[in-house]
């Protein structure tokens, strides 16, 4: 079946979560990259752990908790003002270099975000990067109170877009997310910017790309 809609993960796929490094470095000189890396790791871990525990808190809370953990682990001072500053940075994350030119060239298909982020976080970063005119929808897991890769999250895109799962292409830079989408029944495209191996989850992506520009070439 032809692809009628493309659904994108947000954080790490369209928006560079490590664009916070500059601000982290200002707050903790010499530790910016380490903070950003550990912060992202714990942020994701907390989404999976909370889903399994059935103790949902929204992505804003999870992201702040991940930052606090990272700072404790790295033995860095981190009070509420530090958290507030960096949570504001999450609303101003930059896109990866090719995103703003590639997304408009994919119009003709429905384009949407499907993300763990809260509606407020997502609306802010989409507006900051001027993508609101390109996207047909921004879908948050928040209404389900469960995180990816739970199949109910991917089903939410089918419901919201009114497109059959077989006609949806899902794009993520997180291999586990692409595998989750493939397991659900989407066509899955993994943007592998770090030349990482495929996760062993018995649901491999349909294609592995270096950037979103590669998807344009593949679909054409």
Provide the pLDDT confidence category of residue 214 given band limits of 50, 70 and 90: very high
Structure-token match 């993960």, residue found: 9
- Here the contacts of 22-28 (C-beta below 8 Å, separation 24 or greater) are 23/85, 23/86, 23/89, 24/86, 27/82, 27/85, 27/86, 28/71, 28/74, 28/76
Q: For the residues 83-108, what does the mean pLDDT come to? A: 96
Tens digit of each residue's pLDDT (9 = 90 or more) over 190-211: 999 999 999 999 999 999 999 9
What per-residue confidence (pLDDT) applies to 220?
Answer: 80
User: Average pLDDT, whole number, for the chain?
Assistant: 97
Spatial separation of the C-alpha atoms in residues 131 and 135, rounded to whole Å = 6
Tens digit of each residue's pLDDT (9 = 90 or more) over 60-73: 999 999 999 999 99
What per-residue confidence (pLDDT) applies to 61?
Answer: 98
CATH number (domain holding residue 114): 3.40.50.1000
The answer to whether residues 30 and 84 belong to one domain is yes
The answer to whether residues 54 and 116 belong to one domain is no
Residue 2 CB contacts under 8 Å (≥ 6 apart), including other chains? 167
In this predicted structure, the answer to whether residue 145 has a pLDDT above a threshold of 90 is yes
The answer to whether residues 161 and 201 belong to one domain is yes
Tens digit of each residue's pLDDT (9 = 90 or more) over 147-195: 999 999 999 999 999 999 999 999 999 999 999 999 999 999 999 999 9
Give the domain extent around 161.
5-15+94-219
The answer to whether residues 100 and 49 belong to one domain is no
Of the candidates 9, 16, 58, 150, the residue annotated as catalytic is 9
Strands 110-115 and 5-8: parallel
The answer to whether residues 64 and 99 belong to one domain is no
- Whether 9 is catalytic is yes
The answer to whether residues 165 and 79 belong to one domain is no
Question: What pTM value is reported for the model?
Answer: 0.95
What per-residue confidence (pLDDT) applies to 196?
Answer: 97
In this predicted structure, the answer to whether residue 132 has a pLDDT above a threshold of 90 is yes
In degrees rounded to 5, what are phi and psi of residue 57? -130, 150
> Half-sphere exposure (CA, 13 Å, Cβ side) for 118?
15
The answer to whether residues 143 and 104 belong to one domain is yes
The answer to whether residues 74 and 112 belong to one domain is no
What per-residue confidence (pLDDT) applies to 106?
Answer: 95
What per-residue confidence (pLDDT) applies to 48?
Answer: 98
The answer to whether residues 59 and 136 belong to one domain is no
In this predicted structure, the answer to whether residue 20 has a pLDDT above a threshold of 90 is yes
The answer to whether residues 135 and 75 belong to one domain is no
Provide the pLDDT confidence category of residue 7 given band limits of 50, 70 and 90: very high
What per-residue confidence (pLDDT) applies to 72?
Answer: 98
The answer to whether residues 103 and 206 belong to one domain is yes
Q: For the residues 104-127, what does the mean pLDDT come to? A: 97
Domain edge (last residue) among 58, 90, 122: 90
Q: ∠ CA(115), CA(121), CA(126), 5° rounding?
A: 80
Domain count, the chain: 2
CATH number (domain holding residue 35): 1.10.150.240
The answer to whether residues 125 and 159 belong to one domain is yes
């Amino acid at each position: 079946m032809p692809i009628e809609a493309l659904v994108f993960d947000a954080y790490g796929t369209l928006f560079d979560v490590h664009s916070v490094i500059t601000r982290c470095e200002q707050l903790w000189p010499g530790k910016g990259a380490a903070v950003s890396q550990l912060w992202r790791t714990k942020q994701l871990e907390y989404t999976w752990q909370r889903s399994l525990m059935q103790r949902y808190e929204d992505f804003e809370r999870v992201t702040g908790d991940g930052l606090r953990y990272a700072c404790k682990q790295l033995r860095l001072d981190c009070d509420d003002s530090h958290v507030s500053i960096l949570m504001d940075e999450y609303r101003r994350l930059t896109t990866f270099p090719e995103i703003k030119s590639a997304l408009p060239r994919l119009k003709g298909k429905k384009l949407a975000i499907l993300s763990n982020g809260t509606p407020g976080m997502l609306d802010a970063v989409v507006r900051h990067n001027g993508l609101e005119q390109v996207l047909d929808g921004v879908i948050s897991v928040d209404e389900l109170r469960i995180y990816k890769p739970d199949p109910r999250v991917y089903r939410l895109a089918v419901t919201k877009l009114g497109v059959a799962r077989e006609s949806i292409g899902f794009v993520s830079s997180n291999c586990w997310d692409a595998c989750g989408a493939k397991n659900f029944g989407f066509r899955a495209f993994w943007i592998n910017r770090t030349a990482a191996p495929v996760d062993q989850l018995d649901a491999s992506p349909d294609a592995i790309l270096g950037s979103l520009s590669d998807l344009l070439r593949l679909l054409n």
